[in-house]
Amino acid sequence: MDPTLKLTKELISRQSITPSDEGCQELIAKRLETINFKIEHMPFDDVNNLWATYGEKGPLFVFLGHTDVVPTGPREEWSSDPFKPSERDGFLYGRGAADMKGSVAAFVTAIEEFISEYKEDIKGRIGVMLTSDEEGPAVNGVEKVVEELNQRDEKINWCLIGEPTSNKEIGDVIKIGRRGSIGSNIKIIGVQGHIAYPQNAKNPIHLAAEAISEISKLSWKDETGKFQDSVLQISNLNSGTGASNVIPGSLTLDLNVRHSPSTTTEEIKVAVENILDSHSLSYEINWTKGGNPFLNTQTSLIDSVKKAIESLTGITPEQTTDGGTSDGRFIAPTGAEIVELGPVNESIHKVDEHVDIEDLSLLSKIYANVLQRLLT
């Protein structure tokens, strides 16, 4: 059996629903330890993190991934048990197959192959950073590990993240940056009352309707040429008591903006709150920052990944910054070059998540080729 496929199956078999790891990192650590990696487990609260390094000097190349997965959803809707990897029609099915246990397995087999072939010629160090807190709040994962590495003055030069970036086939898309994320919960305060006596109440739905309409149309243009424009989306809107004869006393809404580096979080806050104030609304607002945007403007890692993909697939990858946030947002402030490359993302977080079996071996070969280009 192909070694990347075999390891992916072993990882899928462990029910590591975030923030659980269920021994995935210990399995990886034992594999890496046999090829002379130094192993450090860095648990923070209920989150497991692994930091493994090979070599003593030179620039540091890091593979970054996560061992946690999202919940399965209704198990009865899966064609097979999500934690019993199943091969069907050339695909491997199971939770985490594409996001991102396949990539983590490919990290390991790529490193094993690279060290076996180039052990005497390696000019630099290799790191593997894994967390079980990527699909969750991401509070005790990569952010905490990076804080620890910063205290040691441990500098990461290149970071390749195994997020499932590909659209139709392996390597057709890589990510060279990500948008930032900021959200808020807003409570519009009215006065509850009998629906037959509106003069004795203040209906927050009526009061806020125009403001909500204006807020929903907010957008900010990207000036970098590398990102989509920043657009606000309202994700939840709730009011009412459940009774048809009661004017509600409040309305709550949640919104989120995925924004480019051209737009600051302060600009977003001011724009939203100015609209609320212009309608003389009584409100409470709480802002939550999900992460800063980042863009890799350096070229050595991008070029190496691009050439590795071209040499093994004949594809020239599209370089994008779309999609959600990733743990790259915690690495970017260190100054490291960041590229994301992983499996086809069509089935991630869905019932019957799967990955093309041949893609697992190909991904491992691409990762190994990147190592060869940067470290020999």
Q: What is the mean pLDDT of each run of 10 residues along the chain (376 residues)?
A: 97 98 98 98 97 96 98 96 97 98 98 96 97 94 97 96 97 96 97 97 98 97 93 96 97 97 96 98 95 92 98 97 91 96 97 98 98 97
* Cis amide bond preceding 74, omega within 30: no
Strand order in the sheet with 86-88: 86-88, 91-93, 354-356
> What angle is formed at CA 141 by the lines to CA 85 and CA 68, rounded to 5 degrees?
10
Active-site residue flag, 68:
yes
pLDDT, position 269: 98
Answer whether 219's CB lies under 8 Å from 268's CB.
no
Structure tokens at 236: 């939840």
Domain 180-291, CATH = 3.30.70.360
Structure tokens at 56: 């003593």
Looking up tokens 């086809």 gives: 344
DSSP calls for 231-281: EEEEEEEEE--S-TTEE-SEEEEEEEEEE-TTS-HHHHHHHHHHHHHHTT-
Q: What are phi and psi of 22, to 5 degrees?
A: 55, 35
Structure tokens at 269: 């806050």
3-state helix, strand, coil in the chain (%, to 5): 35, 30, 40
Answer whether 129's CB lies under 8 Å from 142's CB.
yes
Looking up tokens 């070029």 gives: 303
* Cis amide bond preceding 100, omega within 30: yes
Answer whether 72's CB lies under 8 Å from 78's CB.
yes
Active-site residue flag, 322:
no
Structure tokens at 167: 């659209």
Answer whether 279's CB lies under 8 Å from 188's CB.
no
The residue from 113, 134, 340, 359 that is catalytic is: 134
pLDDT, position 122: 96
The residue from 21, 22, 68, 113 that is catalytic is: 68
Pairing outcome for strands 60-66 and 158-161: parallel
Answer whether 265's CB lies under 8 Å from 180's CB.
yes
Q: What are phi and psi of 109, to 5 degrees?
A: -70, -30
Distances in Å between the Cα of 358 and the Cα atoms of 55, 87, 100, 240, 363 are 31, 12, 16, 53, 9
Residue 174 C-alpha from the chain's centroid: 14
What sign has the CA pseudo-torsion 178, 253, 185, 144? negative
Query: Which residues lie below 8 Å from residue 314, measured CB to CB, with a gap of 6+?
Result: none
Structure tokens at 300: 């050595």
How far apart, in whole angstroms, are the C-alpha atoms of residue 30 and residue 154?
A: 23
Answer whether 267's CB lies under 8 Å from 220's CB.
yes
pLDDT, position 240: 96
What sign has the CA pseudo-torsion 11, 12, 15, 16? positive
pLDDT, position 325: 86
Superfamily of domain 3-178+293-375: Zn peptidases (3.40.630.10)
pLDDT, position 48: 98
pLDDT, position 102: 98
Q: Where are the domains of the chain?
A: 3-178+293-375, 180-291
Distances in Å between the Cα of 208 and the Cα atoms of 137, 214, 234, 271, 292 are 31, 10, 14, 16, 30
